[in-house]
Structure 1
Amino acid sequence: MTDDATPRADGNDVDAPIKSLGTTFRVVDELKRNDGGRVTEIAEETGLSKSAVHKHLATLVAHGYVVKDGDRYSLSFRFLDIGGYVRAQFPRANVIKTKVQELATETGEVAQCMTEQSGKSVVLYRETGTNGVPTRTRPGKRMFLHQTASGKAILSQLPRERVEEILDQHGLPRATDATITDREELFEELETTRDRGIAYSLGESTRGLYAVAAPMTKPDGTVLGAFVVSGPTHRMRGQPMDEEYPDLLLSLVNEVELNIAHS
């Protein structure tokens, strides 16, 4: 056994994590969190030695995942290549991209398609309409499912046991005063969402931002993700949230689901 491996109690270290690889990802995460950094800065933030940080950075540079400018390091576009490849594997990704663009154009707001992985919501595609406001989301961004309309749309299609697992893993952290932080309250809303086919977020992830979403499923009922439209409260409340956008989303989702079913 090498020094990089962490032995298990039964003596079988086949599935044990590799410490050095874990350290590499800590360095990568730190570069992302701070938009790059120097060896000393990364060492201070991670608690790693400067020599360890330097070795991992040198390896990442050698493999093209990090670029160096003077004494400062940053993540490279190699990650964009990997992310693009991963996203392209999603069912009918090209169709979904087009539909998100159409949704943003028609509503003038921010339109997105989200999916779930490891108990969190992941942005697959995001487009901004002519009136769209800046938000914290971008392709690849992960968020808590219970805080967003798209996340609740996805949760509404999952078995209760799976939802319980997600809540056990991630909890119900609060983003704003409107965020649901009680399990039973969340399950009640998920039941309502399942019945009407539409989920809402009323300032629950970002204060002053409303959103409406519809889940997208495979022919066998497995949830694939959700389409969502979001915008400032004063433009979203009333008719857009109650009728216009729900009808638009349900129609769009139906098209995509049919496309997936017959592909």
Structure 2
Amino acid sequence: MSGPQSVDRALALLDAVADAAGPVSAKALARRVGCSLSTAYHLLGPLTERGHLVRGPRGYALGPRVPALHRSFQRQLGVHSAVGTLLSQVRRATGAETYFTAYSDGRITVVDTTAPPADDGHPFPPGPETRAHATAHGKVLLAQLPRAARRRYLTDHGMARFTARTITDAERFESEVTGVRHRGVAVSVGEADPHYTCVAVPLPGTPGRALSVSLPRAAFLRRRDEVTGALALAATAFPTVPE
């Protein structure tokens, strides 16, 4: 196997290992991506040699190259040391998990978070944000785009319904982001996850970047003004991300 299909299969194997709870055997990986065992071994070899994967007694796991790729990804998005400090400060001030999210080239990504890596139940893990229209950080970032670019994003990514509260109508979403621009803050109460509320603000001077927190709906209803105020204050104090 060679060419684009082999590249696609290799990336599918890497994704399968990343999505697994622990090491995965070559046989299980072959089943998951729909290829023969010999093809799986053929593609797993280079991934292991390059450090993207490691092979142990129980199967394949992510390798030492992965953290370096994540650091490079953050650097290219302008994530400097102040971002980590900012997230920690907001976490302490609000008691809520905090996120740094970015829009780039038609994609929205949760780049960094205070949520523990082992917290699989958390609603907004790092990585591609596939529910942007239903999240506060997604609303903030989409509100910054020209209308045509925003419509194109929604057309490309869809407006799936995740809960009864999810906005799935494009015109209603336009009204929502108009309010976000006017208020300078976005709120998603159970739109992406029925149990969580997400609150987000843009980072001044850094287009395409948002700061957000998530907390259980009941806690948000009790502490709405406190949480929103702390988030807005932290964003205002954040230094401009250098080009």
Q: TM over 0.5: same fold?
A: yes
Does the CA contact (< 8 Å) of 2:115 and 2:122 recur in 1?
A: no
The answer as to 2:230 corresponding to 1:248 is yes
Q: Partner residue of 1:230?
A: 214
**Counterparts of residues 45-56 of structure 1 (less than 5 Å):** 45-56=32-43
Which residue identity lines up with residue 29 of structure 2 in the other structure? Answer: I
The number of equivalent residue pairs is: 240
Q: Partner residue of 2:60?
A: 73
CA distance in 2, matches of 1:146, 1:236: 20
CA distance in 2, matches of 1:41, 1:134: 24
Q: Secondary structure at the match of 2:127?
A: coil
Task: Tell me how far 1:88 sits from its aligned partner.
Answer: 2.6
CA distance in 1, matches of 2:242, 2:125: 30
Does the CA contact (< 8 Å) of 2:144 and 2:208 recur in 1?
A: no
Task: Tell me how far 1:191 sits from its aligned partner.
Answer: 0.6
User: Which of these residues, 173, 179, 183, is aligned with residue 196 of structure 1?
Assistant: 183
Q: Partner residue of 1:33?
A: 19
Q: Secondary structure at the match of 1:37?
A: coil
Q: Radius of gyration: which is bigger?
A: 1
TM-score (structure 2 length as normaliser): 0.89
User: Which of these residues, 90, 93, 98, is aligned with residue 80 of structure 2?
Assistant: 93
Which residue identity lines up with residue 26 of structure 2 in the other structure? Answer: V
Q: Secondary structure at the match of 1:178?
A: coil
State the Cα deviation string for residues 104-138 of structure 1 (Å, max 9, x = none). 00111111111124544322221259xx9951333
State the Cα deviation string for residues 218-260 of structure 1 (Å, max 9, x = none). 3xxx62211112111111115x32x22222222222222xx21
Does the CA contact (< 8 Å) of 1:114 and 1:124 recur in 2?
A: yes
Q: Secondary structure at the match of 1:245?
A: helix
Task: Tell me how far 1:217 sits from its aligned partner.
Answer: 4.4
CA distance in 1, matches of 2:57, 2:122: 33
The answer as to 2:127 corresponding to 1:140 is yes
Q: Secondary structure at the match of 2:98?
A: strand
User: Which of these residues, 112, 117, 123, is aligned with residue 125 of structure 1?
Assistant: 112
Task: Tell me how far 1:67 sits from its aligned partner.
Answer: 0.9
Which 10-residue stretch deviates more, 75-84 or 109-118? Answer: 109-118
Does the CA contact (< 8 Å) of 2:130 and 2:157 recur in 1?
A: no
Q: Structure 1 residues 45, 191: closer, same or farther in 2, change over 3 A?
A: same
Task: Tell me how far 1:21 sits from its aligned partner.
Answer: 1.6
Which residue identity lines up with residue 234 of structure 1 in the other structure? Answer: A
Cα RMSD of the aligned pairs, angstroms, is: 2.4
The answer as to 2:201 corresponding to 1:214 is yes
CA distance in 2, matches of 1:84, 1:139: 13
Identity of aligned residues (%): 25
CA distance in 2, matches of 1:21, 1:247: 47
CA distance in 2, matches of 1:26, 1:93: 30
Does the CA contact (< 8 Å) of 1:150 and 1:214 recur in 2?
A: yes
Q: Secondary structure at the match of 1:237?
A: helix
Which 10-residue stretch deviates more, 115-124 or 152-161? Answer: 115-124
Moved over 4 A (4+): none
Q: Secondary structure at the match of 2:191?
A: coil
Unmatched segments (≥5 aa) in structure 2: none
CA distance in 2, matches of 1:96, 1:229: 14
Q: Partner residue of 2:7?
A: 21
CA distance in 2, matches of 1:136, 1:58: 34
Task: Tell me how far 1:71 sits from its aligned partner.
Answer: 5.5
Which residue identity lines up with residue 246 of structure 1 in the other structure? Answer: T
